[in-house]
Structure 1
Amino acid sequence: MTGSERGQTMATRVGAGITADVADTVATPKATEPPEPSGPSGIWHRGRVLATAALLLGLLLLLHASIPNRTGNLGSLVETFLPWCGLLVPLLLAGALLRRSATAVIALLLPAAAWLNLFGPLLVDKSHPGGDLTVVSHNVGAHNPDPVGTARALAGSGADVLALEELAARARGTYEKELAKAYPHHTVQGTVGLWSRFPLSDTRPVDVKMDAGPLGDAKPAEVKMVYNRGMRTTVATDHGPLAVYVAHLGSVRVNPRAGLSSGRRDAGAQSLGQAVAAEENERVVLLGDLNGTLDDRAYAGLTSRMESAQEAAGSGFGFSWPAAFPVVRIDQILVRGVEPESAWVLPATGSDHLPVAARVSWRTR
C-alpha cells in the first residue's frame, strides 16, 4: 500500500470516529433540567411563586387587624399604608401574564377582591349638593414661610368654622389679623385654634397627652398651656349648638430597628375618644391633624363613635400629607349627629399639609 493510500485510509477512519461520536452525543444528550410543561397544561404549572405571593397579599389585606402591635407597632404600620398594597396587584398581574400562568392570575382574585372590599367605596363620588355648614381643618405648619398667604387662602375657602393646628406663637398675630374680617369669633388654646362666623362658648382645653417631655418629665401647668394641642368649644350655629373639637395628636416616627413609634399619639387618640364619648351635645364635629389614617386601630375609640366625612361623602382617598406629594390622609374631619354632604381637599398653602373641608347638614337621611 502506497503512502497516499495509507493516508486516505487513516482519514477515513478518523472521520468515521468523529461521525460516531457526534451520533452518540445526539442520541444520548447530557442530563439537563426537565423543561417546563408547555401547552394547555403548562399554564397551570407555571408561576407558583407569583401565586403564593398573591395569596399572601390577600391574607394580609383580609387579616391586617390580626397583625400584632407588640413588636414595633407592626400592625399599625401596615394599616397606615394599607391602601398602597393595592399597587402590588397590577404588578403581580403583569408578572403572571408574562409567565402565562393561569394559577397566578386566579390567585390574584383574592387580593383584588379584598382590596376592593376595603377601599372600593372610596373610589365612588358620594357627595351630595347642599348642606348647612362648611368646616375646614388645616395644620398651617410651624415653619410656614407664608402665613399671610395661608390665612387669606383659608378666609376665601368659604368655611363657616375653621380649625388651625400647629399655630406658632410668632405667627398667631398674623392669623388673627388676616382672619378677623371673615371670622368675628375665635379662640386659641395653646397651638390649636378655632375661627367661626358664629359665637363661641364653653371653650376649654382638652388633654391629648402631650404634657410630658421626651423623658416623661411633667411640665408645669403654665408650660402645658403653651403646648396644649387639644380644645373643645360650642359653636352657636343658626341651626343649634354644635360641639367642635380641635386636636393635633402626637407625631409618629418610623425607625428600621424600633418600627413605628406612636405611643404619645395613641394615648392622645384614646384620651380624645374618651372626651367625645363623654360629650353631652348631640351634634359633634372633630377637626384636626390626627397624625394617622383611620384604618389604624389606634383610632378605634373615635371611629366607633364618629363618622369620617371623607369616607361618607368624599371622592377618593383625600390624601393630605405631605403637600408636595400626598400619600396618606392624616388630617381628619369626623362627625356625630350631623350628616356629611360632601368632603374634599383644598389647594396647597405654605404648609406641608393640605387643608381638608366638609359640608354638613342638620338633617339625617
Structure 2
Amino acid sequence: MTAVLDTSPAPPQPPAPQPPRRRLSPGGRGALAAALVALAATLLMLGHSLIPDRPGHLGSLTETFLPWTGLVVPLLLVCAAIRRSAVAAATVLLPALVWGLLYGGTLTDKQTSGGDLTVLTHNVNEHNPRPARTARALAESGADVVALEELGDASVYEEELAADYPYHSVHDTVGLWSRYPLTDTRAVDIAPWPRALRATVRTPKGPVAVYVAHLLSVRFSPTAGFGTAARDRAADLLAEALRAEALPRALLVGDFNGTTDDRALSALTSPMRSAQEMAGAGFGLSWPAAFPLARIDHILLRGMEACSAWTLPATASDHLPVAASVRW
C-alpha cells in the first residue's frame, strides 16, 4: 500500500488573544489634564523671570498680568466639581499655595491712619469729555498734591483747581498742583517723550522732590509682539534723574504703562517702594477704569513711609485715580 504525502497548506490558526489595552477613564483623563494645568501655572508663577523678553517682550507681557494666574485655582475647582473628581481637586493645592505665598499678603488691609502728606495721581485722558467735573472730583479728594497726566486742555484744570491748589506747574501734558509752594520746577528729559517734570514741594515738614511722569504707551502686534522698547528707554532716563536727585525724600508718581512686576521697569521701580504694596488693601488695579486688570498708575517713594494707599472712584477717564498718604 503506497502512502500519500499531504502537501496542502495547514488551515490558518486564529490569532492569539491580546491583552486589553488599558485606557484612562474620563475621570482619570480629567485629573491628568488638571494636574498639567496646575503644574504649568505653578511654574509660570515661580519662573516668570526666566521667560525671555526677546523676541516680542513676552516676559514683560506675562509679568504685567502675573497676579491673574491665580484664576487657574477657581477654574480647576469648577472643573473638578463638574467631574466630581477628588484627584482633580487635589491638584489645585500646589498653585493655590504658591499664589498665596506670592500674593496673599497683598490682599490684607495694611492701611493705617495719619500721614504728613497726601498725594494723588491721575491720568485724566486727553479725550476726557468732562474735564471740569473730573477736576472738581479730584479737588474734593482732599489731597495736598495732585499730579495729572495726559492733559488735553490744561486751562480747564488750572481754572477748576486754582481755589484749592494755588501752586501749580504744567509741562507738555503732565502737571502738578499743590497746596504748598513749588520751587526748582523743571522738565525731565526722557526723550523722545517730553512728558515728565520735577518740582520741590515745600511742605511744613520739609521739602520733598516730586517727579510726575507719563511713560510711553505699549503696543501689541502679531509681528512685533508686546512693544515696550520706547517706554523702557524713557524709564531708564527717568531712573537716571532719580539717582541724581539730591533731596533725601522723593516721590515718583504717574502712569508708567507697566506694573512693578515688569522686569523692564526694574531700574526705575527697584530703588523705590510702592505705596500700594506698603500700605494698600488689595492690588489697587487702576486700568482700564471700567474693569481694572492692571495697576499701571503708581505712587513710589524714597526716604518716607506710606500710611495708606487706595484707588478713588472712576471719573470720565479710562484710568482710576490713585492716592496715598505718606509720612516722614
Instruction: Please confirm whether the aligned pair reaches a TM-score higher than 0.5, indicating the same fold.
Output: yes
Aligned to 2:45: 61
Give the whole-Å Cα distance in 2 for the aligned partners of 1:303 and 1:109: 32
1:299-333, Cα deviation, whole Å (9 max, x unpaired): 21122210000111010111111111111111100
Unaligned residue ranges in structure 2 (runs of 5+): 1-18
The alpha-carbon distance between structure 1 residues 268 and 102, as it changes in their structure 2 partners (threshold 3 A), is: same
Report the counterpart of residue 159 of structure 2 in structure 1.
177
Does residue 83 (structure 1) correspond to residue 94 (structure 2)? The answer is: no
Alignment partner for residue 350 of structure 1, among 303, 310, 316? 316
> Relative to 1, partners in 2 of residues 1:37 and 1:193: Cα closer, same or farther, differing over 3 Å?
closer
State how far apart, in whole Å, the 2-side matches of 1:252 and 1:46 are: 38
Corresponding residue of 1:306: 272
Tell me the CA shift for residue 34 of structure 1.
Answer: 4.6
Specify the SS of the correspondent of 1:63: helix
Tell me the CA shift for residue 257 of structure 1. 3.2
- Check the 8 A contact 1:309/1:334 in 2, yes or no: yes
C-alpha displacement of 1:48: 1.2
Q: Does 1:275 align with 2:241?
A: yes
Q: CA deviation at 1:106?
A: 3.6
Task: Say what the alpha-carbon RMSD is for the aligned residues.
Answer: 2.1
Counting only pairs closer than 5 Å after superposition, residues 154-303 of structure 1 correspond to structure 2 as 154-168=138-152, 171-211=153-193, 228-303=194-269
Q: Percent identity?
A: 58
Q: Say which SS state the counterpart of residue 359 (structure 1) adopts.
A: strand
Shift of 1:280: 1.3
Provide the rounded CA distance (Å) in 2 between the counterparts of 1:248 and 1:162: 14
Residues in 2 aligned to 1:328 and 1:32: alpha-carbon distance in whole angstroms: 52
Is 1:93 the counterpart of 2:111 in the alignment? no
Q: Which residue of 1 aligns with 2:102?
A: 118
In 1, Cα distance between equivalents of 2:204 and 2:283? 31
Secondary structure (helix, strand or coil) at the match of 2:216 reads coil
Cα distance, 1:116–1:155 mapped onto 2, change above 3 Å: same
* TM score, norm. by length of structure 1: 0.81
The residue number in structure 1 matching 2:299 is 333
Deviation per CA, 1:181-202: give whole Å up to 9, x if none. Answer: 1011001111111000011111
- Partners of 1:265 and 1:85 in 2: how far apart? 25
Contact 1:55–1:108 under 8 Å retained in 2: no
Q: Which has the higher helix share?
A: 1
Once the two structures are superposed, residues 6-40 of structure 1 have per-residue CA deviations (whole angstroms, 9 ceiling, x without a partner) of xxxxxxxxxxxxxxxxxxxxxxxxx97656579xx
Match of 1:137, as an amino acid?
A: T
Q: Secondary structure at the match of 1:68?
A: coil
Q: Separation in 2 of the partners of 1:304 and 1:235?
A: 23
How many residue pairs align between the two structures?
312
What does residue 21 of structure 1 align with? none
8 Å Cα contact 1:46-1:103 kept in structure 2: no
1:133 maps to which of 107, 111, 117: 117
Structure 1 gaps of 5+ residues are: 1-30, 212-227
Q: Shift of residue 103 of structure 1?
A: 4.3
Shift of 1:101: 4.2
What SS is found at the alignment partner of 2:277? helix
The one-letter code matched in structure 2 to 1:145 is: P
Q: Distance in 1 between matches of 2:31 and 2:191?
A: 51
Q: CA–CA distance in 2 between the matches of 1:133 and 1:276?
A: 20
| 1:288 Cα offset (Å) | 0.2
TM-score when normalising by structure 2: 0.90
Q: Which amino acid is the alignment partner of residue 108 of structure 2? A: V
Per the alignment, residue 223 of structure 1 pairs with: none
Cα offset, 1:47, TM superposition: 1.2
Q: What SS does the corresponding residue of 2:202 show, helix, strand or coil?
A: strand
Query: Which residue identity lines up with residue 161 of structure 2 in the other structure?
Result: L
Preserved contact between residue 137 and residue 356 of structure 1 (Cα < 8 Å):
yes
Q: Could you tell me which of 33, 39, 57 is aligned with 1:49?
A: 33
Q: After superposition, give the CA deviation of every residue in 1:235-289 in whole Å (9 maximum; x if it has no partner).
A: 0000000000000000001223322011111111111112111211110111100
| Structure index of larger Rg | 1
| Cα distance in 2, alignment partners of residues 308 and 89 from structure 1 | 27
2:290 to 309, 324, 329: 324
